[in-house]
Chains A and B, each alone.
Chain A
């Protein structure tokens, strides 16, 4: 690697570098004894995110080559939604001071002094996603994924001073480590099959191997891909790595759950896109079949289990699984096979990028509503707690309604456009059956989403429920819900962004064969 290249590459990473710096600052200020400095950490985090977002945006404008495509988009989206998450997570580290827990009061509690560190972890995890998006190398990808995950373990563990939080942390961490080992093994096999960890090189070698093998991939590579994909499924909470989801989501503090629902999922989805682009679309039939099954099973499993829950957090957790299934549909479809000149529909990758935002807004808004409520000094979690929300807190009820409707995919909310996008791409790639599975699953999911809406609007209020009184969470919920509406109605900008993010693929689609396309795409990202 030439020196100039390295400089250029680092130049593309300025936002991440800045985020790291921000995280470090938070970490250190968080250690200070005074309350004042500790309280400034969320603001530092916010400023860091905003500046990072601007840096990303700036690079998007000026240096299209360096940061063109997906990475830029993902970084921007993560920074943006990170801001909403920041609002929603406000108050989490202070929570201990609000609750009276005899056991906790007696002893030393690390959670009590977490204020600063929490935001450091928050920023670190987001940085991980950003780095994932910019990954051009298996090593990098592995590190970035781990950077995304490791802070979240801490966040979960320390978010609440309750047994549930610790239980969810232990499950999350151990199972996460297991999955990391699995996809790491996959990475190793890919490396073994190609002799390189650099995406561009791998792509070229894969192409060559395919040409030699008569369109077939070497078994080692296939196995590596399989393990990688299945391992990364943990991050997006897809079958068979979905087991932890509901328990972890339930145990973690609600705002942290919102974080978990969006951030690692984004990282995982992006990682999957990168991994599969190594072999290009249409995917090798084995991988395609595997993901087909995973997608179908994931969405079905998520939805049917969601139906059975009484805890809204668990419901949303299972819905998170289901949405991962939908995302996998886009992954199967891949970048437009026969993309229309006039429109973005048909590009599965762009659909995923869009859907991540759509899903993120919806799910963050609904978790934020839950986070705004407390019941008997605990978190509001069950249907009973949100019952009659409309009468006491009409604003929260409206946000909840909008967010679940967006998640259902009711037009014209942003979730609907996401579905249009996914289904359009699935049809374009010929996955008709999967579309039917998808729409039927949407119908199933409507049942539990509707139960949430129904509880909010038709139920009788529960006296034990009161507002947590944390203003930023309200703001976060509001922003997410409003965005869900606004992006649904004037979603063209976002759609265009996703389209531009994958435009390199599109322009080459007519002339080059598909793996070459993917390679070109990746080259653009990683130059």
Chain B
């Protein structure tokens, strides 16, 4: 059996017994251990996949296979991974055991269902990343909604119903439009080749023949789904609500993986499919990304609910991610950094949500006004929290920095008709603001005079205990991940370069070879100086030749068409 297929369906299969009438699963510990085991096994599978993965050809789809679905539509469950997918799959499988480890005492009712839906969700998340068939992707993309909807709706806090509803409808509305866009591209393919296919590579080729207007529409459709998912300002309002109401596990998954589906979708579909439109509208997306960074950062600062603060910080952080994606600089610094950022954000923000969850379990409140000086009373928790805050702030040496600096450099070096240094400069202010609001939170909660809210423990006691071994074991891998990715990110970056270049090649090609006439004129004199400067050669000169090469390597229309025809 194909390793990826196994990896994808193992979780859902292993979740099924949870719904069977097995007595043993009525015990909290048993069902928890079972879930933990299941996710660990999945993690091992993904590690095996990572070991077997040929990093030398990281841009190639590997472990490619497909399961028949509806051949008459050209629908298959086609899957395969390149390194982008691999890293995101690893992120998913890595986070899942941690989430379950951290959930032992978080849930007190309908425990079986809780773990059932969590594990089912894992299948869908992995599915989105491994799909090489766009409808398969879409299927998993949509299906992630259901488990999370139930997780929020059943296990959330007071306002959960509204949060679950808004979460579902918001994202569903967007993704329906995305679906239409995807179908349209498939239709274009039919017009060109006479074959219905949803194979992503095939659709790239088809999309290349779309006119600028068509591309703009398709981009709009894709953005409708993915920008909501990211979420990009100003369609982000569902996220803080969903995060605040979701159980810890839900929040971690949401921040850790599900938001990445949006950016992943943008990278995998929007960039290669509508390059011209991307180049044309990148400024707009950039403006919204930067606005999101700044506005939500300021909003974070005035929050009193720790979880809401972190939720808003997600919006702010993902602004960087989007900015990097649409930078289209010659070296793909931005896009590579953006993928890195996805991973990093998953680790650090996921960890922060876990930390918040841990104090919520103890105090049943997340109000910053009600707690202070926790560093004195629960130092271990405080240490971890500060650590993750620092990772989130983008302290060099920890993971957040790498992504942040790369995305900003990307935006800075972006061709002027795409983004430009202003974007980087303004987004950079977000780095300051991130420090402001996160340290504000740290200052309120961890530092300061000791103020401890009423404590609720599992056994009804009122004694405040620091993290136990299980909780430390939950956070430790994340901390290690943050540190390792901060100090040794290069392996990941190198492996990401090839696939990311392939995906951005068309848009970069457009951006670098087809500068609109007005653009050269509108470059302000200062920058022209830079452009003309002899020292600016490598970073600046539009890398035309390589752009063409990549574009050709990437598309090879005849080949792909042939492949499709054979099938």
Question: Interface on A for B, CB 8 Å cutoff?
Answer: 338, 340-346, 405, 408, 410-412, 416-417, 419-421, 423-424, 427-428, 432, 435-436, 438-440, 442-443, 446-447, 450-451, 453-454, 457-458, 489-492, 495-496, 499
Knowing A447-B169, A457-B154, the reply to whether A499 touches B196 (Cβ < 8 A) is no
Question: Is B184 close to A, CB under 8 A?
Answer: yes
Looking at B171-179, B324-332, B394-402, the stretch in contact with chain A turns out to be B171-179
Knowing A435-B180, A457-B150, A458-B164, say if A342 contacts B196 (CB, 8 Å): yes
- B75 CB–A CB distance under 8 Å: yes
Contacts of A491 in B (CB 8 A): 69-70
In the bound complex, CA of A271 to CA of B94 (Å): 56
Residues of B within 8 A of A432 (CB): 184
B190 near A410 with CB under 8 A, answer no
Interface string of B38-78 (1 = CB under 8 A from A): 00000000000000000000000000000011111111000
Q: Which 6 pairs, one residue from A and one from B, show the smallest C-beta to C-beta distance?
A: A343-B196, A411-B139, A443-B173, A427-B187, A439-B176, A344-B72
Q: Which residues of A contact B197 (CB under 8 A)?
A: 342
Query: Are B72 and A411 interface neighbours, CB within 8 A?
Result: no
Of A420, A435, A447, A490, the residue contacting B135 (CB under 8 A) is A420
Whether the Cβ atoms of A420 and B183 lie closer than 8 Å is yes
Q: Is the CB of B180 within 8 A of A345?
A: no
Distance in Å from the Cβ of B141 to the closest Cβ of chain A?
9
- B residues contacting A by CB (< 8 A) are 68-75, 135, 138-139, 142-143, 145-146, 149-150, 153-154, 160-161, 164-165, 168-169, 172-173, 176-177, 179-180, 183-184, 186-187, 190-191, 194-197
A344, chain B: closest CB distance, angstroms:
4
On chain A, the residues within 8 Å of B191 by CB distance are 338
* B74: contacting residue among A345, A421, A436, CB under 8 A: A345
Given contacts A440-B173, A458-B153, A416 and B139 within 8 Å (CB-CB): yes
Given contacts A345-B72, A436-B180, A446-B173, 8 further A-B contacts (CB under 8 A): A343-B71, A344-B73, A419-B179, A438-B180, A440-B177, A457-B154, A458-B160, A489-B69
B276 to chain A, nearest CB (A): 19
CB of A423 to closest CB in B, whole Å: 5
Q: Which residues from chain A contact B190 at a C-beta distance below 8 Å? A: 338, 340, 345-346, 428
Q: Which residues of A contact B143 (CB under 8 A)?
A: 410-412
Give me 14 A-to-B residue pairs in the complex whose CB atoms sit less than 8 angstroms apart, sorted by A's number.
A341-B194, A341-B195, A346-B190, A412-B69, A412-B139, A412-B143, A423-B180, A435-B184, A436-B177, A436-B180, A446-B169, A450-B168, A492-B71, A492-B72
Residues from chain A with a CB closer than 8 A to the CB of B150 are 457
Check if A420 sits within 8 Å of B180, measured CB to CB: no
Judge whether A340 and B194 touch: CB under 8 Å. yes
Residues in A with CB closer than 8 Å to B72 are: 343-345, 492, 495-496, 499
Name the distance in Å between B59's Cβ and chain A's nearest Cβ.
Answer: 28
**Chain B min CB distance to A338 (Å):** 7
Identify which of A342, A446, A454, A457 contacts B194 (C-beta below 8 A).
A342
CA distance A107 to B102 in the complex (A): 67
Q: For the complex, what is the distance from the CA of A411 to the CA of B184, rounded to whole Å?
A: 18
A343 partner, pick from B73, B168, B176, B183, beta carbons under 8 A: B73
Complex contacts, A436 vs chain B, CB 8 Å? 177, 180
Q: Inside 8 A of B172's CB, which chain A residues have their CB?
A: 408, 443, 446
Flag if A424 contacts B70 (CB, 8 Å): no
Q: Which residues of A contact B194 (CB under 8 A)?
A: 338, 340-342
The residue of chain B having its C-beta at the shortest distance from the C-beta of A391 within the complex is B110
Q: In the complex, what distance in Å separates the CA atom of A421 from the CA atom of B75?
A: 11
- Interface contact A424-B161, CB-CB below 8 Å: no
Residues of B within 8 A of A496 (CB): 72
* Cβ contact within 8 Å between A417 and B73: yes
Which of A345, A410, A442, A499: most chain B Cβ within 10 A? A345
What's the Cα separation between A421 and B139 when bound, in Å?
A: 15
- The CA of A499 and the CA of B187, in the complex, are separated in Å by 18
Q: Which of A410, A440, A489, A492 lies in contact with B142, CB distance below 8 A?
A: A410
Would you give the shortest CB distance from A415 to chain B, in whole angstroms?
A: 12
A455 — nearest CB in chain B belongs to which residue?
B161
Q: Collect the chain B residues with CB atoms within 8 Å of residue A450's CB.
A: 149, 165, 168-169
Closest chain-A Cβ to B213's Cβ sits at a distance in Å of 11
The smallest C-beta distance from A481 to any residue of chain B, in angstroms, reads: 15
Query: Do B138 and A411 touch (CB < 8 A)?
Result: yes
A446 touches B168 (CB 8 A): yes
- State the CA gap A104–B135 with chains docked (Å): 55
In the complex, the answer to whether A424 meets B196 with C-beta atoms within 8 Å is: yes
**Which residue of chain A lies nearest to B564 when distances are taken between CB atoms in the complex?**
A342
Instruction: Report the nearest A residue to B179, measured CB to CB.
Output: A439
> Do A411 and B142 touch (CB < 8 A)?
yes
Cα(A427)–Cα(B191), bound, Å = 10
Closest to A416 in B: B139
Interface centre among B149, B184, B187 (most CB of A within 10 A): B187
* The residue from A338, A345, A438 contacting B73, defined by CB atoms under 8 A apart: A345
Give bound CA distance, A185 to B173, whole Å.
Answer: 42
**Distance of A408 Cα from B168 Cα, bound (Å):** 12
A432 to B176, CA, bound (A): 14
What CA separation (Å) do A408 and B175 show in the bound complex? 13
Kindly state the separation between the CA atoms of A454 and B184 in the bound complex, as whole angstroms: 32
Shortest Cβ distance from residue B40 to the other chain A in the assembled complex, whole angstroms: 27
How many whole Å from A485's CB to the nearest CB in chain B?
Answer: 12
Contacts of B142 in A (CB 8 A): 410-411
Hey, which chain B residues are within 8 Å of A416, CB to CB? 139
* Residues in B neighbouring A405, C-beta threshold 8 A: 146
Q: Of the candidates A346, A454, A492, which one forms a contact with B164 in the assembled complex, judged by CB atoms under 8 Å apart?
A: A454
Which residue of chain B has the shortest Cβ distance to A487 in the bound complex?
A: B70
Complex Cα distance A421/B74, Å?
Answer: 11
CA distance A494 to B133 in the complex (A): 21
CA distance A442 to B180 in the complex (A): 11
Partner of A440 from B70, B74, B176 at Cβ < 8 Å: B176
Which chain A residue shows the least CB distance to B190? A340
Q: In whole angstroms, what is the CA distance A454 to B146 when docked? A: 11
Contact flag A454-B139 (CB < 8 Å), given A436-B180, A439-B177:
no
| A454: chain B residues within 8 A (beta carbon) | 153, 161, 164-165
B180 neighbours in A (Cβ, 8 Å)? 423, 435-436, 438-439
* Cα distance A254–B72 in the bound complex, in angstroms: 36
The distance in angstroms between the C-alpha atoms of A454 and B167, with both chains bound, is: 13
Report how far A442 CA is from B146 CA in the complex, Å.
16
B138, B173, B195: the one contacting A340 at CB < 8 Å is: B195
Q: Chain B residues with Cβ under 8 A from A417's Cβ?
A: 70, 73
Residue pair A346, B196 in contact (C-beta under 8 Å): yes
Q: A419–B145 Cα gap in the complex (Å)?
A: 18
A490–B74 Cα distance when bound, in Å, is 13
B164 contact set on A, CB distance < 8 A: 454, 458
What is the CB-to-nearest-CB distance from A81 to chain B, in angstroms, rounded to a whole number?
Answer: 20
Contact A435 B183 (CB under 8 A): yes
Tell me whether A424 and B153 are in contact (CB under 8 A): no
Contact between chains at B138 and A343 (CB < 8 Å): no
Q: Given A343-B196, A416-B139 in contact, is the A424-B73 Cβ separation under 8 Å? A: yes
Given the complex of chains A and B, what is the CA–CA distance between A405 and B164 in angstroms?
15
| Smallest beta-carbon distance B345→chain A, Å | 27
Given known contacts A340-B190, A342-B195, A450-B165, is B183 in contact with A427 (CB within 8 Å)? Answer: yes
Chain B: minimal CB distance from A333 (Å): 11
Give the docked Cα–Cα distance between A427 and B160 (Å).
Answer: 38
Which chain B residues lie closer than 8 Å to A495 at the CB level?
70, 72-73
Question: How distant is the Cα of A411 from the Cα of B128 in the complex, in angstroms?
Answer: 13
A27–B172 Cα distance when bound, in Å, is 49
Q: Say how far A234's CB is from chain B's closest CB, in angstroms.
A: 29
State the Cβ distance, B532 to closest chain A Cβ, in Å.
46
When chains A and B are docked, how far (Å) is the Cα of A506 from the Cα of B69?
22
Provide the bound-state CA to CA distance between A423 and B74, in Å.
14
Expressed in whole angstroms, the minimum distance between the Cβ of A401 and any Cβ of chain B is 8
Q: Which residues of B contact A453 (CB under 8 A)?
A: 149
Whole-angstrom distance between the alpha carbons of A327 and B176 in the complex? 18
CA distance A410 to B140 in the complex (A): 10
User: Given A423-B180, A424-B196, are A458 and B173 neighbors across the interface (CB < 8 Å)?
Assistant: no
In the complex, the chain B residue whose C-beta lies closest to that of A450 is B168
